Structure 1
Amino acid sequence: MPTIRVELMEGRTPEQKKNLVKALTQAVVETLGSQPASVDVLLYDIKRSDWATGGELWSEKK
């Protein structure tokens, strides 16, 4: 059973997440030959204040 963990900066809409989950599931089905029901996708929303790139928090970027 493939499990995909996706970490996203918060702010995506439910529709965007739904489309992402469908696309990831389909990619696994096509690539690995898995059944859709066996593919788990875990979405983690990360606050901008908990995500940094280049030593700078995203919540402090302009």
Structure 2
Amino acid sequence: MPIIHVNIIEGRTDQQKELLIHEITEAVNRAINAPKESVRVLISDVPAQHWGIGGQSAKTLGR
């Protein structure tokens, strides 16, 4: 059972997350022929102030 864990900066809509889950599942199915029913996708929303890019938080960088 493939388990895909995705970390993203918070702020995406539920609809965007649903699409992400769908597209990742499709990609895993195509790439390794895993049955879609066995694919698990976990999304972690990370606050922008907890996401570092080049020594600064994403919040400081306006992301």
TM-score range normalised by the length of the shorter chain: over 0.9
Query: Where do 4+ consecutive residues of structure 1 move more than 2 Å?
Result: none
Structure 1 residue aligned with 2:31? 31
State, as a whole percentage, how many aligned pairs show the same letter: 35
Tell me whether 27-36 or 6-15 shows the greater mean CA deviation.
Answer: 27-36
- Residue 61 of structure 1 corresponds to 61
Q: TM-score, normalised by structure 2?
A: 0.92
Greater helix percent: which structure?
1
Q: Whole-Å Cα distance in 1 between the matches of residues 37 and 52 of structure 2?
A: 35
Note the C-alpha offset of 1:61.
2.0
Q: TM-score, normalised on structure 1?
A: 0.93
AA partner of residue 25 (structure 1): T
Aligned residue pairs, count = 62
Q: Structure 1 stretches of 5 or more lacking a match?
A: none
